[in-house]
Chain A
Amino acid sequence: MTAPLPWRRERRAHFPGLPAWSVRAAMAKDESFEVSAFPEIDARWAWEGADGGGVRVCVVDSGIDGSHALVAPVAQSWQVVADDRGWPRIEPCEPRDLAGHGTACAGIIRAIAPEAEVSSMRVLTDGKSGTGAALIAGLEYAIEHGFDIINMSLSTTRPELRLRLSELADRAYFRRCVLVVSAHNLPVESYPWNFSSVISVASHDQDDPLTYFYNPAPPVDFHARGARVLVARPGGGVVRSTGNSFAAPHITGIGALTLSKHPWLTPFQLKSVLYHCAANFGRVP
Chain B
Amino acid sequence: MSRRLVAVLFIDLVGWTSLAERLDAEPLQQFLERYYDICVTAVDRHGGIVEKFIGDAIMAVFGAEWSGEDDGLRALRAALQTRSEVSRLAVSGLDPAGPGVHCGIAAGEALVTRSAHAGVRIVGDVVNLAARLQSAAQRDEILLNEVMVRLVRSHAVVAPMPPMKLKGKREPVPVWRAVELADASAPVRTGVPFVDREAERTGLVEAYRAVTSTGRAQALMVLGPPGIGKTGLVHEAVERLLGETPTPLLISGACQSFAATGSYGPLGQMLDALLSHADVARQAATIRGGRVLEVLAQLRTPTTADGEASGPGTEEISWAVRELLACAATDPLALVWEDLQWAEPALLGIIADLADRLLDHPVLMICVARQELRELPPRNPNDGPDWQTVHIGPLGRPHTLDLVGSLMARGQPAEVVAHDMDVVDRIVDDCAGNPLFAELMVETLALGYSLGDVPPSITALVGAMVDRLPPAATRVLEVASVIGTTFTREQLATMAVESAEGVLDDLVRRNLIACARPGEYRFAQQPVHDVVYGRLDKRQRLDWHRELARQPVNRAFHLEAAVHLLRVLAPDDPELPELAQRATSALLSDGTTALRRRNLPAAIGLLRRAQDVPPGANEAAHALVAVRLSDALLLGGDLAGARAAVERVIEESPGSRAGVACRIQLGLLAVRSGQDGEVSVAELTEDLRHEEADQLSWCRLDQLHMLRYLAQGRFLAAEQSARAALRRAEEMNDGYERDRLLAALCEVGQWSPTPIPQKLAFCGEVATRFAGDRCLLVPVLVAQARLLALAGRLDAAAEALAQAHQSVMDLRLTMAAVLVEQGYGAVAAVAGEHERAERHYRSAAQGLEDAGHRPAALAVRALAVRERVRWRCDDRAVVEIGALRDQAAAMDLHGRLVAAAAAARVVAESGQPPDDEADEVLRLLARTDDPCLRGDVLTDLALAHRRAGDGDRARRMAQAAADSYAAVGASLPGSGIRERS
Binding site for B on A (CB under 8 A): 14-17, 19-20, 61-62, 67, 69-70, 72, 99, 101, 104, 114, 123-124, 126, 128-132, 134-135, 153-158, 161, 182-186, 188, 235-238, 241-246, 248
Contacts and interface: CB of A to CB of B under 8 A. Distances in A.
23 contacts: A15-B398, A16-B396, A17-B401, A69-B637, A101-B418, A128-B417, A128-B418, A129-B415, A131-B416, A154-B416, A155-B416, A156-B417, A182-B419, A186-B409, A236-B633, A236-B640, A236-B641, A237-B636, A242-B421, A243-B420, A245-B420, A245-B421, A246-B420
Identify which of A70, A186, A244 gathers the most chain B CB atoms within 10 Å of its CB.
A186
A244 B419 contact: yes
A153 B419 contact: yes
B469 interface: no
Given A126-B414, A185-B405, A237-B641, A154 B636 contact: no
Contacts of B425: 242
A103 B641 CA distance: 17
Nearest to B418: A128
Instruction: Provide the main secondary structure of the chain A interface.
Output: loop
Given A114-B850, A132-B416, A236 B421 contact: no
Best-buried of B397, B401, B421, B641 by chain A (most CB within 10 Å): B421
A237 B416 contact: no
Where chain B touches its partner, the secondary structure class is helix
A191 B487 CA distance: 47
A17 B424 CA distance: 11
B638 interface: yes
A116 to B, nearest CB: 14
Interface string B395-423: 01111011001101100101111111110
Contact of B420 (A72, A132, A153, A161): A153
Contact of A129 (B399, B417, B638): B417
A164 to B, nearest CB: 12
A184 B419 contact: yes
A132 B638 CA distance: 35
A131 B399 CA distance: 30
Given A242-B425, A243-B420, A130 B641 contact: no
B856 interface: no
Interface string B376-411: 000000000000000000001111011001101100
Contacts of A154: 416-419
Contacts of B408: 186
Contacts of B409: 157, 186, 188
A156 B406 CA distance: 15
Contact of B398 (A17, A156, A242): A17
Contacts of A61: 418
Nearest to A152: B419
A235 B421 contact: no
B405 to A, nearest CB: 5
B96 interface: no
B712 to A, nearest CB: 26
Given A236-B641, A242-B421, A242-B425, A157 B412 contact: yes
A236 B637 contact: yes
Nearest to A136: B416
Interface in B785-820: none
Interface centre among B402, B412, B416, B633 (most CB of A within 10 A): B416
Given A185-B405, A236-B639, A246-B420, 7 more contacts: A14-B402, A128-B417, A154-B418, A156-B416, A184-B419, A236-B641, A242-B422
Contacts of A183: 419
A237 B419 contact: no
Contacts of B416: 123-124, 129-132, 134-135, 154-156
Given A236-B633, A237-B637, A242-B425, A20 B420 contact: no
A236 B638 contact: yes
A129 B414 contact: yes
A252 to B, nearest CB: 13
Given A17-B401, A237-B641, A156 B415 contact: yes
Contacts of B415: 129-132, 135, 156, 158, 161
Interface in B593-613: 600, 604
B852 interface: yes
A128 B424 CA distance: 13
B697 to A, nearest CB: 26
Q: Which 10 A-B pairs give the minimum distances between C-beta atoms?
A: A16-B398, A236-B638, A129-B414, A243-B420, A245-B419, A128-B418, A243-B421, A132-B415, A245-B420, A17-B398
A178 to B, nearest CB: 18
A67 B401 CA distance: 34
